[in-house]
């Protein structure tokens, strides 16, 4: 299983923005809920997910949503 996680900012996906160059990424508040927007389920312990998701479906859906948002923001930037 390969998981691609992209950090985006201001795209409505709930992702935390990365800090400036050379700085560590911000520490999100501890949570025991799945981080996929709209998922009410508790996160499950899994070393591959860093205990952030409730299921494989939420991992894939979250990655797809973040990637789609990233692609759209890059397309909008290219049009300007």
Residue 19 token pair? 């800090």
- Phi, psi dihedral angles at 64 (to 5 degrees): -60, -45
Q: What is the model's pTM?
A: 0.56
**Are residues 63 and 3 in contact, defined by beta-carbon separation less than 8 angstroms?**
yes
Three-state secondary structure string covering 54-78: CCHHHHHHHHHHHHHHHHHHHHHHH
Kindly report, residue by residue over 1-50, the tens digit of the pLDDT.
444 544 444 444 444 444 455 655 566 555 589 999 999 999 999 988 89
Amino acid 78: pLDDT = 75
Amino acid 74: pLDDT = 92
């Amino acid at each position: 299983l390969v998981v691609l996680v992209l950090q985006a900012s201001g795209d409505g996906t709930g992702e935390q923005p990365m800090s400036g160059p050379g700085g560590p990424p911000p520490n999100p508040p501890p949570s025991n809920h799945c981080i996929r927007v709209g998922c009410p389920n508790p996160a499950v312990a899994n070393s591959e997910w860093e205990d952030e998701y409730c299921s494989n479906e939420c991992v894939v859906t979250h990655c797809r949503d973040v990637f789609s948002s990233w692609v759209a923001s890059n397309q909008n930037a290219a049009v300007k």
